[in-house]
Each structure stands twice: as C-alpha cells, then as structure tokens.
Amino acid sequence: MLVGLAITVAAANSKISYHGYKVLRTQALDKHTAEILGRMTERDFDFWADPVQGRSADIMVSPHNLADLEQFLAKHQIQYSVMIEDVESVARLSEPTPSVRPSRKNLGSPRYTLTWDKYHPHDVINEFVDELASTYDFVDSVSIGKTAEGRDLRVIQIKKAGPGKPNVFIDAGIHAREWIANAVATFMIRELVENYEANSHIVDNLNIHVLPMANPDGYEYSRSTDRMWRKNRAVNSGSSCKGVDLNRNFGFHWAESGVSTSPCSDVFCGEEPFSELETQAIKEYTESLNPTPILGHSIHSYSQLWLWPYGFDYTSRPDNWREIKQLAEDASEALLQVHGTYFDPINSADLYPAAGASDDWYRGGLGTRYSYTTELRDTGLYGFLLPPSQIVPSGEELFAGMKVVFEKCVQDTTA
C-alpha cells in the first residue's frame, strides 16, 4: 500500500479489511489531467492503473479519503465512475476458503492437489511442479534460489527438445496480488506437459523454463494478511516499510523512470539493481542457460495488454522492434479467437514508462530476441481480484497466444 492509506485490521486474524474501499475510474485523461493525477500517486491513494494520457486511471481509495479525492477530481474537472463499489466484497470472491488439504497418497488421479477452480498456496504449486517432474521423463523441477522467508523459487524445465535446442523463459506472479498470473502459468504448464500430443511440435523443438511463482513471500502475505500487497517481503534497512517492487529491480536502465526511492512506496526499486534474492535468482538462472533464451516472457494482470519493449522510455526501441511488435499483434489475434477477449498489443512505455522491469532486461540485458509482458484479464470489473471462475478461460486464451509465439521461436531456429 502507498503511504497514508487508512487500513482497517480485523483483530481476530490480523487480516487487513478493505470494507468500504472503492475503486474509481476516471475519464480518458488528456496530458494536463494525467500530469495532475501523476503528482498525487505517492500520496493517499493506490493507483491500480496509473494516470496516462489517452487512458483512464483506476484509483483505490479508503472511506476516510473518498471525500478528498472526489473534491480533488471535481476541482480539476476530471469525470469518473465507480469501478468497484466495495473492494472487500469483491476480494472475497477470489480469496482462499478454509479446507482440509488432502494428503498426496489419498489423491488418486491426478497425483497433485492443484486444480484450476480456485487459487492455491505456493506449496501446492511447487508440489504440482514436482509431481510432473517425477512422472514425465522430459520434465525436471529445480530450485533456483530461496526467498528472504526461505521459500523455494522453483522452475519447471520442459526439456524434451534436448541440449542445444532453443530455450525460452517465462516468469509469473512477480507482483503478489496478481493471483491470476500464477494460476495461468500452471495452466500453460499442464497444457504443454499433459497435453503433449496436441503441442508436440513446440515441446519437441523448444526447451521451456517456467517460474510459475516469482514472488512467493509476497503472494503468501497477500493470501494471509493484505490482499492488495504488491512487493516482496524484504526488510529494508533503516525503514519500517517492507518490500521491493521486483518489477522495478532488474538491471536495465534501473531507476530511470516510473519508480520510487521510498521503501514505503509500492514501486520502490530497491537500493541497487538486482538487490533482491528473487531477481538475482532469475538473472543467474537465465544467464546460465545455453543457448541464451530466444524468448523472455512475464505474466501479469490486469488490463488485457500484450506489451513489448522497451518500457523505460517513450522513444527507445530494440533494433528488431518491428518483428517483436508484429508477433505481439499475431499472438493477440490468436488469443481473440478463443473467447473474444481483446488484448491490445502496445509498447510498454505507451502504458507508462517504468524502468527495471523483467521484460526490458530480458531483451536489453540478457539478450533474448523476443520479450513480452502480458497483462491478463480483465479491464476493470474485477481488476486484481479476478474470480477463480475465470482461471480456465484466461489460461485457454493466453495459451493460444503463446502458441503463436512458441511456433515463431521454433520457425526462427529451425529455418
């Protein structure tokens, strides 16, 4: 949460309540109104969608600060509507329900606990990865490091293609509150492994490495304590505020735009590039892959976007930006055909300039040929609080788009 947000804590379980919090959506902003709202992003409001010229801003506000925000918007003649009437009631649609977790020996088939009708804890996701590795001879499960709270950062390696074949790397869930990202990553893993016959051309020709939970400490904190938590849970020296925004911590044009140097900010970039255990682990693992991955991809939510680099600056582009852009458009078109969901394929900086993101580093630091960030469903009805009923359709449509990207990677390396 940003500094100043008035938060109510339920005494019974120390879980933060967002009862009475609203999310307001502004009209499409012009340059002037975007600049006005941009000056207040570090104050008393949580911007779910940042103020950008030509787009709406989504602002979560507490009951305590609602009147001040409404007065501010009226003063500057910024029209708005209520996107979410009560954040707490919507959050309950996605939050875990108490249940007895079955032991593995009683599961029968499938062998793992994971399902795609609810959001699961980190250890269940790791169990899923481990079970696939123990079942399929072309799958491995590796820990690439541990977090500050001792949780495994576990990558699944789908490596039927074998040594020397092209690598791709996918991360998901860098931002803790974006639960749909982790769920969709596991859906894609299942399709590639357990539906091999339908995807054999991809699996036979690409070694696919997926980190389905890039921020497990933050994710578990968002489940247990603060549903809207974004950062990791690192201790910041000299500050009572915890956490670094991992997607501002990668070492490509680090801290040049769209960040804060305040440890209490949701977009705190850390004390230096790759200061965090999670980003260090991703860097070291991807740099160890031979050949260098042809694709680096990061799964986020929300807004239904297929973003291509660079995002640190409005005018900077990779040298092959035209082919990156075209592939984003092709992937978005394939995604559209599944459920009619439109993803806008745009340059990352057109959303808002932000330095230190993983996709920028994949292309500009690691040297991948292709690099993307996908912002999954939806466009604002639920925002970060997407109900579990949308996991499967979200997974189906993203996988359709990813298949286009995978096939292009195969084509480029086998031609």
- Catalytic positions are 375
Contact present, 84 and 383 (Cβ < 8 Å): yes
Nearest in space to 41 (alpha carbons), one of 83, 4, 74:
4
CA 351 to CA 52: how far, in whole Å?
Answer: 7
Q: Residue 381: what are its φ and ψ, rounded to 5°? A: -60, -45
Contact present, 356 and 248 (Cβ < 8 Å): yes
Nearest in space to 282 (alpha carbons), one of 179, 204, 357:
357
